[in-house]
Amino acid sequence: MTPTGQHSPELRAAARHLGRRRFLTGTGAAAALAFAVNLPTAGVAGAAELDAARIPADPFTLGVASGDPAPHSVLLWTRLAPKPFELNGGLPAERVTVQWELARDARFRRVVRRGTVTAHPEFNHSVRVQADHLDADRQYWFRFRTGRWVSGTGRTRTAPPAGSRSGLTLAAVSCQAYHDGYFTAFKHLAEDDVDVVFHLGDYLYEYAVNAAGGARKYTDRTLPDIFNRETQTLDDYRRRYALYKSDPDLRAAHAAHPFVVTWDDHEVENNYADDIDENGNPPEEFLLRRASAYRAYWENQPLRLPQRPTGSDMQLYRRLDWGRLAQFDILDTRQYRSDQAYGDKAHAPGPESRDPRRTITGATQERWLIDGWRRSRALWNVVPQQVTFSERKLDLTADAKLSMDAWDGYSASRDRVLAGAKSAGVDNLMVLTGDVHVAYAFDIKADFGKPSSKTLGTEIVATSIASGKDGAERPANWDTYMKANPHLKFYNGRRGYVTVALGQKSARADFKTVSAVTTPGAPLTTAASFITEVGNQGLKPA
C-alpha cells in the first residue's frame, strides 16, 4: 500500500478528518454512531463527491451483510458496484454518500437508527457501519440507500447481555469454490433457523475460474476473461469477491444471518504459511500479494475496525461472547504459522513436524487464546478456526501418514493449546473446523493413540459449500479413516453445512447435506446428528 506519508499536509489532514468518528442524528432522540472507516491511502484522497443521482444502475448488486454481533452493536456492510465485474465496480473514483437505516421490523415501520456514511473509492466503495446502542438479544432489519437506489433488506441480531444463559444455534460453513458448483447449501441456510453463521475460510479460491473446467461453466453464461487467471493484484481479488457475491444464494445467506468470518489459505493462495507461498517466490514479493488479498478481504467482509489491515498484516483473530453460554475464540492459523513440515507432503509424524519451535498460531495468538480461556466464565468455549485439529491418520499402517497442513503437522502447538485448556479449567471445549471438504465429528482425546484416554472436547468439521463438486456420502477412503481413527465418529463427503445448538445441558450438531451441487436446486437432508453433554464430553448419536 502506498504510505500516506508521501502526501501533502492537506491530504494528511483530510485523511485524519475522514478517520474521525462522526455523530449522526437518528430518529427521535436516538443518536446513531457510525464510523467513516475508509482512510484514503493513494493519490485520490479527498476525491470529489459523486452525485448519487448520476449512478446509472442499481449499485447494490453485491447484496448486504452483517457481522460480529455484540450485545449492543452489530456491523453492517455493503459495497457499491453497479457493474460488479468492471474495474471499481463501474463507478468513477469519487466518494459516494450512502444512507442506512436499521429497524425493529422487516417493513421499516419502527426505524431505531439511521445515518449517513461515505463510500470511498480507495476502498472500492465498500460501506461499513457499526450500528451501536442497540438492545441486546434482539433481531433487527437494515438497508442502505443512495440516490434513487435502495438495497435489499438484511436481517441481523445482537448477542445476549453479559450474564445471559439463553441458548444459541450456529451454523458453520467453509470452502465455496464457485467453479465447482452451485451454492445450494447457502440457499437452504438462508431459510434455516440459526442465530449466527461462522465462515471458517476458503470464502473464495484464487485459481483461474474458466480454466478450472468449472461445473457452472456449462450451465451459466461464459464468464469474462478477467476471471480466467489466478488472482494476483488488488483488482483481481476485488473482482473475485464480486464474482462470488454475484451468487444469489450466497447473498441470501448474508442477508438472512450475521456472519462471523475467518479465512483459510485460498483467500490468498493455496497452503501459504505466513510469508511463504507454495511457488517459492521471495517472501517480500508474496507479501505484496498477501496485502492485496487481505485488503480485498477486509473490503468485502462484515468486519469491525480492529480488523482493518495495515499493509500485509491484519488482525483477524478475535473473541466474541454469547452471554455466559459461550465464548468464541476465532483463530487465524495462516498468518503466523511456521512453514509446513516435510515439504507439506502427507508424512508420518517425525522430528520436523514435532519440533516445539514450530507453531500454527504464532506465540502471541497462542498466549491470547490461553489467557482468554483463563478469564472465561462461559459454559462452552468454542474455537472457530480453519484446519483439522484432531489427529487424522490417512492410512492403516503403523507409521501412518498425517496432513502436514493441519494441526497434525504442528503437534507441539496442539499439545500446548490442550495443556492450556486444561490449566485454564476449560470443561466444554468445542473446535469448529473447515478446509477438508468433508464433514467429520471427532472426540478430541488426551492421547489420540489411546482410545481409552480422556475425551477433552469435540471437533465439528463443516463440509464444503461447493468445493470438490458433488462428493460422495462415503468417500473411497471412508473405511480406512474410520478404522485408523477410533475417535472419528462421523465422516460424510457430501456438500452442505453443519448447525450446532449450544444449550445448558448439551450441544447438538446436525450435519446437513445436499445431494448435488453441479446441478442447481438439490434438497437438503440431515445426514446425522450428535450430542455432547456438558461436563461429560464425547459424541453420541442423537
Q: Provide the binding-site residues for Ca ion, judged by CB under 5 A.
A: 202, 264-265, 435
Count of chain residues binding Fe ion (CB under 5 A): 3
Residue among 455, 460, 454 at smallest CA distance from 431: 460
101-110: long-range contacts, CB 8 A cutoff, minimum separation 24: 101/142, 101/143, 101/145, 102/76, 102/131, 102/134, 102/140, 102/141, 102/142, 103/140, 103/141, 103/142, 104/138, 104/139, 104/140, 104/141, 105/141, 106/141, 106/153, 106/155, 108/141, 108/143, 108/153
When asked if residue 467 is in the footprint of Fe ion (CB under 5 A), the reply is yes
Q: Which is nearer to Ca ion, 265 or 408 (CB)?
A: 265
Alpha carbon distance 191, 174 (integer Å): 18
As measured in angstroms, the least distance from the Cβ of 433 to Fe ion is: 11
Q: Which is nearer to Ca ion, 420 or 493 (CB)?
A: 493
> Which one among 101, 122, 195, 202 touches Fe ion, defined by CB under 5 A?
202
Torsion angles phi and psi, residue 227, rounded to 5: -90, -5
Q: Which does 366 bind (CB under 5 to 8 A by kind): Ca ion, Fe ion, none?
A: none
Burial of residue 476 (CB within 10 Å: 0-12, 13-18, 19+) is exposed
As measured in angstroms, the least distance from the Cβ of 201 to Fe ion is: 7
Q: Which is nearer to Ca ion, 38 or 464 (CB)?
A: 464
As measured in angstroms, the least distance from the Cβ of 387 to Fe ion is: 10
Residues of span 120-179 touching Fe ion by CB under 5 A = 175
3-state secondary structure 321-361: EECCCEEEEECCCCCCCCCCHHHHCCECCCHHHHCCCCCCC
Please report, to the nearest 10 degrees, the dihedral formed by the alpha carbons of residues 347, 349, 350, 356 taken in order: 120
**137-146 burial by CB neighbour count: b if 16+ within 10 A, else e?**
beebbbbbbb
Q: Which does 80 bind (CB under 5 to 8 A by kind): Ca ion, Fe ion, none?
A: none
Q: Which stretch binds Fe ion (CB under 5 A): 195-203, 357-365, 439-447, 492-500?
A: 195-203
Q: Which does 467 bind (CB under 5 to 8 A by kind): Fe ion, Ca ion, none?
A: Fe ion
Q: Which stretch binds Fe ion (CB under 5 A): 47-55, 56-64, 443-451, 462-470?
A: 462-470
As measured in angstroms, the least distance from the Cβ of 175 to Fe ion is: 3
As measured in angstroms, the least distance from the Cβ of 180 to Fe ion is: 10
Q: Which is nearer to Ca ion, 435 or 459 (CB)?
A: 435
Listed in sequence order, the DSSP H helices in 257-336 are 283-300
Q: Which does 265 bind (CB under 5 to 8 A by kind): Ca ion, Fe ion, none?
A: Ca ion
As measured in angstroms, the least distance from the Cβ of 241 to Ca ion is: 17
Q: Which is nearer to Ca ion, 63 or 496 (CB)?
A: 496
As measured in angstroms, the least distance from the Cβ of 266 to Fe ion is: 6
As measured in angstroms, the least distance from the Cβ of 468 to Fe ion is: 8
Query: What separation in angstroms does the CA of 476 have from each of 82, 305, 377, 491, 514?
Result: 45, 45, 43, 11, 19
Q: Which is nearer to Ca ion, 432 or 507 (CB)?
A: 432
Q: Which stretch binds Fe ion (CB under 5 A): 35-43, 132-140, 200-208, 424-432?
A: 200-208
**27-65 burial by CB neighbour count: b if 16+ within 10 A, else e?**
eeeeebbbbbbbbbbeeebbbeebebeebeeebbbbbbb
Residue among 130, 35, 468 at smallest CA distance from 266: 468
Burial of residue 155 (CB within 10 Å: 0-12, 13-18, 19+) is middle
As measured in angstroms, the least distance from the Cβ of 188 to Fe ion is: 20
Q: Which does 388 bind (CB under 5 to 8 A by kind): Fe ion, Ca ion, none?
A: none
Q: How many other β-carbons are positioned within 10 Å of the β-carbon of residue 17?
A: 11
Q: Which stretch binds Fe ion (CB under 5 A): 38-46, 270-278, 364-372, 461-469?
A: 461-469
Contacts of 310 (CB under 8 A, 6+ apart): none
Q: Which is nearer to Ca ion, 34 or 387 (CB)?
A: 387
**Cell digits for 91?**
463507478
Q: Which is nearer to Ca ion, 202 or 206 (CB)?
A: 202
CB 62 within 8 A of CB 16: no
As measured in angstroms, the least distance from the Cβ of 265 to Ca ion is: 5
Alpha carbon distance 272, 436 (integer Å): 16
Q: Which is nearer to Ca ion, 195 or 405 (CB)?
A: 405
As measured in angstroms, the least distance from the Cβ of 504 to Ca ion is: 34
Q: Which is nearer to Fe ion, 184 or 467 (CB)?
A: 467
Q: Which is nearer to Fe ion, 366 or 459 (CB)?
A: 459
Residue 49 DSSP symbol = B
Contacts of 86 (CB under 8 A, 6+ apart): none
Q: Which is nearer to Ca ion, 457 or 468 (CB)?
A: 468
Q: Which does 405 bind (CB under 5 to 8 A by kind): Fe ion, Ca ion, none?
A: none
3-state secondary structure 159-178: CCCCCCCCCEEEEEECCCCH
As measured in angstroms, the least distance from the Cβ of 463 to Fe ion is: 10
Which chain residues interact with Fe ion by CB under 5 A? 175, 202, 467
